[in-house]
Structure 1
Amino acid sequence: MSTREQFRPPEHEHDHFLLTTVVGSYPKPTWLNRARDLHEEGESEQFDESDWEEATDDASRLITHEHEHAGLDVVCDGEMRREEMVEFFAERIDGYEFNGPVKVWGHNYFDKPSVADEVAYDDPWLVDEYEFTADVAERPVKVPITGPYTLASWSFNEAYDTEADLAYDLADLVNEEIEKLVEAGARYIQIDEPALATTPDDHAIVGECLDRIVADLPDDVRIGLHVCYGDYSRIYPEINDYPIDEFDVELANGDYEQIDVFTDPTFEPDLALGVTDAHVAEVESVAEIKENILEGLKVVPPEKLTVSPDCGLKLLPREIAYGKMENMVQAAREIEAELDAGEIDLDELAQY
């Protein structure tokens, strides 16, 4: 059985099935940001650790249910307990340390960590997050996790001879974490590697990392790879050799100018296609999103297509993020109905 088919909802009304999900991050409720400020200020009499835990639990519950209300087949909690995709994990990995923020663009700063010693695995990173979300969710839960190549590339390396050596050790730690997630019941893991798009010549290093990550995982665990914003011709067709079930790609932001990259040679993994633009604070119409979904059907058949936003939605107004998800789900269901009715010629699409 395809690792994808297990996420088809019971009694799905269409013969065809387009898997709908999100990439990961989602706008935080305003009150959670205020709660974070209180927590970081350390005013224990006003807002202690138990208050912060209650706040993050409430936010996780709220956003998980919001994803389900939008109709998504696979949900997450919108990374309510996370703030930045590298810092979150660096804080939990032995060998990392922080020395202050680094300016990255404009007036934006990133607390770029340093690897000061050999990295090592201690306590689980995401198991509690997954177990809480899975307990409150009625639908399957996906776990996004920052990949080892990005964790290495977006850190100062002060302990390893090469960045590749650091990435390989981090990949072993990611494998250890995923094994614990799988023991807890997780069956859909997304590896986020945005750094691959910025240094695509290192696709061989990412491939070796992925080999280490998936070592000894059960066959029913779905592994996705999310890469955003780059020249995909520089990593294709090499990604066909990656040990992944799904490749998640951002293309809506570029009006699908690179969709042809994935048509020759044949695209091997499932395709998770961004069909709403995470950088535009407007809700695309159902009709527009349907046209975007058809772009994905030029590359893979319906049984290999997942639809999602281009990237995480955390920088958008929450009502905009929700509208994008709701319209995306509606568009997917309408495309499924049109496929069932024979109104879409897949052979003709494949010729474009």
Structure 2
Amino acid sequence: MQTSVIGFPRVGELRELKFATEKFFKGLVSEQELEALAKDIRKKQWLKMQEKEVDFIPSNDFSFYDNFLDAAVLFNIIPERYRELSLSPLEKYFAMARGYKGPAGDVKALAMKKWFNTNYHYMVAEISDKDEISLVGDKPFKEYEEAKALGVETKPVVIGPFTLLKLLRYTEKKTEKDFLQQAVSAYKAYVEKFVSLGAKWLAFDEAYLVRDLDKEDLALFIALYQEILSVKGETKVLLQTYFGDVRDAFESILALPFDGIGLDFLEGKETKNLVAKGFPKDKLLFAGLVNGKNIWRNHYEKTIEQVKDLEAKGISVVLGTSCSLLHVPYTLEGENKLSAEVKRHFSFAVEKLSELLDLKKVLSGKAESSVLEENKALFASVRPNSEDKAVKERCAAITDADYTRLPAFSEREKIQKEEFKLPLFPTTTIGSFPQSADVRQNRNAFKKGEKTKEEYVAFNREKIAEWVKIQEDLDLDVLVHGEFERNDMVEYFGELLSGFLFTEKAWVQSYGTRCVKPPIIWGDVRRLSAMTVEWSTYAQSLTKRPMKGMLTGPVTILNWSFPREDISIAESTKQIALAIRDEVLDLEKNGIKIIQVDEAALREKLPLRKSDWYSEYLDWAIPAFRLVHSGCQANTQIHTHMCYSEFTDIIPAIDNMDADVISFEASRSDLQILDSLRENHFRTEVGPGVYDIHSPRVPSVEEIKEALEKMLKKIEKEKLWVNPDCGLKTRGREETLASLKNLVQAAKELRNEYC
């Protein structure tokens, strides 16, 4: 029995890469110092996997920002606006990821989207008609030789040519077909270089194969690999897929001379049936049976049964992770506040290496009997404090009427126009303001017991008052309290609900240097008491302008947590929806008339195949949101916000959420969502983001006006709101003030023109 890992967390055990990269952005460390740290992180990970007897250890899974961006740079897919910058190659790379404004020029960042059905974001590389795909980089080769020097033979991984071509953004007339031969030549050169280096295995990650594919897609896939594989010589090639099954492409994959095929047996609901129809005896099956996306222990008995079933069919199996371990925290070792009884149910990236080793030994007949018995006892036990009978009964009592808000949207819209009397193009922000060092220090001091609750609350009230005054001075129309009491939009609520557990250091990369610490849904969920009412009502008492109550929606709380595996995610989301509903009604009762329930991650668990969208997800996710606000009065305005996903193809479902106002990320996608809004006769009032908050750039008044004028060609002026594309917690104070000043000025100038 051999084992394989697709990828490993790259930010380091204690987020070393994050902090060093942010220092590099500020000029506090040099490129050489940053590169040295990255080399040390890679070394530790390779040796850790070698220690755990992983047979197929990945290299080139490391990235300073994003693997898709790495592949674009490797293959010369760099838009001209970045090439022209007088910066070092690494600085240009970061300019593509974050944008740049300085002595060398002024450029926006590339678009950023969710990576398939995960909370990880990738950079959408662009290619123009005059660009040429060719092998120009050396990162994979340097890292392979770096590992070799340590005595570690690795399996270099790279985004495959099919996924690369399908996910590129084509900015002019040419499409993926026009770049076919260039991609073939570039990837052939890539393979030939590794052949010359003596690499034993190469892995091409082709996640796009788990989507719906048509005949043209399959023809493209076959045309690419028929030529690329012709130069592999003695080097073996693994086609690696994940996040689903490859039902459309399975026969095409088998017909090509791959030496190994990696399939996801956890999210791939058809994978077992596909393999049962026949799998070549001359190929290795890399079976993804250790979950790379969730943190619960592997059920050894079930996994062993699946492997033995495959081997009984004459299939040569390599046991592996279902996807990269990038999507789980680094290790449980630093989680000192969780009890041993609780921790024994979990497995992070390092622990999953141990699980692979356990399973390898059991399947090879080398493990002690206690290994399997202890795991069996774990799954036979009942987790303490995980069941709440009252929550289950309340969920069971929900009726169809609980999902419907009355009166209908068209009538509510008229009532709310009269209620709030907002000007044309009302201005607002998404919710959070900069989490400056003093804000974080206040929260940390309170958590450590160094500040009393009274001192903690007093500080936050001062901050709220300061930023309410700032918003009034800026002349924003609808205000927010700033969320200074919140560490994270999901973790904050999870800490105030029953059924959640929290870690100290279980950080997971979301994008670039942004890491999140997802809560763990341990059991049934209920609201214990009001969570935001005190902050919102205090903020409202400071101003006559409308103050938004700020909540996170049930689907996002579920999707940005590690979910239970003992009940369905639909049932778990329903429990959370009831808890958020209680908070919405409490806010309304206490005079908060505009309430924003963010569903930033609505699309995250959307099945990758369109045929499964409604039956497996939208049919319960959309009603869960409606359940949250269906009890509100007509003159209470419900907002929601969504960011960094492709929403154009689910616009009808989003409209069916029956919110009153929806704000979208739009700045990094060049407002592509607007066409879909118009085509689908989107009724909800809408605020497409007018500038990118994930970049340090300050947009000019003219730039924002230009974006708004584009919007007005597709959106009725009475329905258009003006806002940034996301919350401002990660931005600095000065750039925030400058950006919002320009936003308000742009809205006012446009308002004058249209009035």
Shared fold, TM over 0.5? yes
Instruction: Give 2:466's aligned residue.
Output: 62
Does structure 1 conserve the Cα–Cα contact (< 8 Å) formed by 2:436 and 2:732?
A: no
Between the aligned partners of 2:712 and 2:469, the Cα distance in structure 1 is: 30
Contact 1:142-1:187 within 8 A present in 2 as well: yes
Per chain length, whose mean CA-contact separation is higher, i.e. which structure has more relative contact order (CA < 8 Å, sep 6+)? 1
8 Å Cα contact 1:160-1:166 kept in structure 2: no
Which range is displaced more, 110-119 or 316-325? 110-119
Q: Give the distance between the partners of 1:49 and 1:139, measured in 2 at CA.
A: 29
**Hey, what's the Cα distance between the residues in 1 that align with 2:690 and 2:554?**
27
Q: Which residue of 1 aligns with 2:425?
A: 18
Give the Cα–Cα distance (whole angstroms) in 1 for the partners of residues 722 and 594 of structure 2.
15
Query: How far does residue 61 in structure 1 lie from its aligned partner after superposition?
Result: 0.9
Query: How far off is 1:8 after superposition?
Result: 3.1
The answer to whether structure 1 residue 8 and structure 2 residue 421 are counterparts is: yes
Contact 2:430/2:723 (CA < 8 Å) preserved in 1? Answer: yes
| Aligned-pair CA distance for 1:132 | 0.8
Name the structure 1 match of 2:547: 141
Does the CA contact (< 8 Å) of 1:29 and 1:59 recur in 2?
A: no
The 10-residue stretch of structure 1 (109-118 or 178-187) with the greater mean CA deviation from structure 2: 109-118
For 1:204 and 1:192, the matched residues in 2 are separated by: 19
Q: Is the 8 A contact 1:64 1:133 kept in 2?
A: yes
> How big is the shift at 1:4?
4.3
Match of 1:349 in 2: none
CA separation of 1:237 and 1:108: change in aligned 2, threshold 3 A: closer
The answer as to whether partners of 2:667 and 2:691 remain within 8 angstroms in 1 is yes
What's 2:152 paired with?
none
Larger Rg: 2
2:620 aligned partner: 205
1:312 aligned partner: 727
Could you tell me the percent identity over the aligned residues? 28
Q: 1:199 and 1:39, CA in 2 relative to 1: closer, same or farther beyond 3 A?
A: same
Aligned to 1:72: 476
Q: Deviations over 1:232-280 (max 9, x none)?
A: 1231222222211112111012222332121202111111121121112
Tell me what 1:185 maps to: 591
What displacement does 1:109 show? Answer: 4.6
Provide, for residues 36-58 of structure 1, a one-character-per-residue CA deviation record: whole Å limited to 9, x for no partner: 33333333xxx433222211111
Listed as ranges, the matches of 1:99-248 within 5 Å are 99-105=503-509, 109-158=515-564, 161-200=567-606, 201=613, 202-248=617-663
Q: 1:287 aligns with which of 686, 702, 706?
A: 702
Judge which range, 281-290 or 23-32, deviates more: 23-32
1:203–1:235: 8 Å Cα contact kept in structure 2? no
- What residue is the counterpart of 2:681 in the other structure? 266
1:160–1:68 CA distance, 2 compared to 1 (3 A)? farther
Distance 1:160 1:215 in 2: 29
Q: How does 1:313-332 map to 2 (within 5 A)?
A: 313-332=728-747
| Structure 1 contact 171–210 (Cα < 8 Å) conserved | yes
Are the aligned partners of 2:651 and 2:682 in contact in 1 as well (CA < 8 Å)?
Answer: no
The 1-side partners of 2:747 and 2:441 are apart by 36
The alpha-carbon distance between structure 1 residues 8 and 325, as it changes in their structure 2 partners (threshold 3 A), is farther
- Work out the CA distance in 2 between the residues paired with 1:108 and 1:224: 25
Distance 1:267 1:158 in 2: 35
Q: Which 10-residue stretch deviates more, 290-299 or 151-160?
A: 151-160
CA distance in 1, matches of 2:513, 2:701: 36
Within 1, Cα distance between the matches of 2:742 and 2:672? 23
C-alpha offsets along residues 183-228 of structure 1, whole Å, 9 cap, x if unaligned?
0001111111121132344333331112211222100111112111
Compute the TM-score of the two structures, normalised by the length of structure 1: 0.88
Contact 2:526 2:578 in 1 (8 A): no
The answer to whether the Cα contact below 8 Å between 1:308 and 1:328 also exists between their aligned partners in 2 is: yes
Tell me if structure 2 keeps the 8 A contact 1:102–1:109: no
**Residues of 2 paired with 1:160 and 1:174: CA distance?**
22
Measured against aligned partners, the alpha-carbon deviations of 1:49-85 in whole angstroms (never above 9, x if no partner) come to: 3222211111111112111111110001211111101
Contact conserved, 1:70 with 1:326, CA < 8 A, in 2?
Answer: yes
Instruction: Report the 3-state secondary structure (helix = DSSP H, G, I; strand = E; otherwise coil) of the residue aligned with 2:536.
Output: helix
**Alpha-carbon distance in structure 2 between the residues aligned to 1:294 and 1:85:** 32
Measured in 1, the distance between the counterparts of 2:500 and 2:709 equals: 44
What is the CA–CA distance in structure 1 between the aligned matches of 2:433 and 2:506, rounded to whole Å?
A: 24
Check the 8 A contact 2:555/2:625 in 1, yes or no: no
Q: Could you tell me which residue of structure 1 aligns to residue 498 of structure 2? A: 94
Aligned length: 331
Alpha-carbon distance, 1:294 to partner = 1.6
Deviation at 1:303, TM superposition (A): 1.2
1:107 CA drift (Å):
6.6
Corresponding residue SS for 1:51: helix
What one-letter code is carried by the residue in structure 2 that aligns with 1:214? H
Alpha carbons 2:426, 2:722 under 8 Å: kept = yes
Q: CA deviation at 1:156?
A: 2.5
Q: Which amino acid aligns with 2:696?
A: A
Aligned with 1:52 (options 448, 453, 456): 456
In structure 2, the residue corresponding to 1:144 is in which secondary structure? strand
Report how far residue 95 of structure 1 moved. Answer: 1.4
- Aligned residue for 1:307, secondary structure, equals coil
1:4-31 deviations in whole A, cap 9, x for unaligned?
453335xx6xxxx111100011103433
| Gaps in structure 2 of 5+ consecutive residues | 1-413, 607-612
Q: What amino acid maps onto 2:452 in structure 1? A: D
Distance 2:566 2:638 in 1: 28
User: Is the contact made by 2:490 and 2:552 (CA closer than 8 Å) also made in structure 1?
Assistant: yes
Supply the distance in 2 between the matched residues of 1:203 and 1:116 (Cα, whole angstroms): 24
Tell me how large the CA RMSD over aligned residues is. Answer: 1.9
Decide whether aligned partners of structure 1 residues 109 and 233 sit closer, same or farther in structure 2, where only a CA change above 3 A counts: closer
Shift of 1:159: 7.1
2:670 paired with 1:255: yes
- CA shift for structure 1 position 112: 2.1
- Asked if structure 1 preserves the Cα contact closer than 8 Å seen for 2:435 and 2:730, the reply is no
Asked if the contact 1:101/1:112 (under 8 Å) is kept, the reply is no
| Residue number among 438, 444, 468 corresponding to 1:37 in the alignment | 444
- Structure 1 residues 289-304: aligned runs within 5 Å: 289-304=704-719
- Following superposition, the deviation at residue 126 of structure 1 comes to 0.7
2:523 counterpart letter in structure 1: D
> Aligned with 1:102: secondary structure?
coil
**Residue matched to 1:84:** 488
Structure 1 gap segments, 5+ residues each: 341-352
Partner SS for 1:212: helix
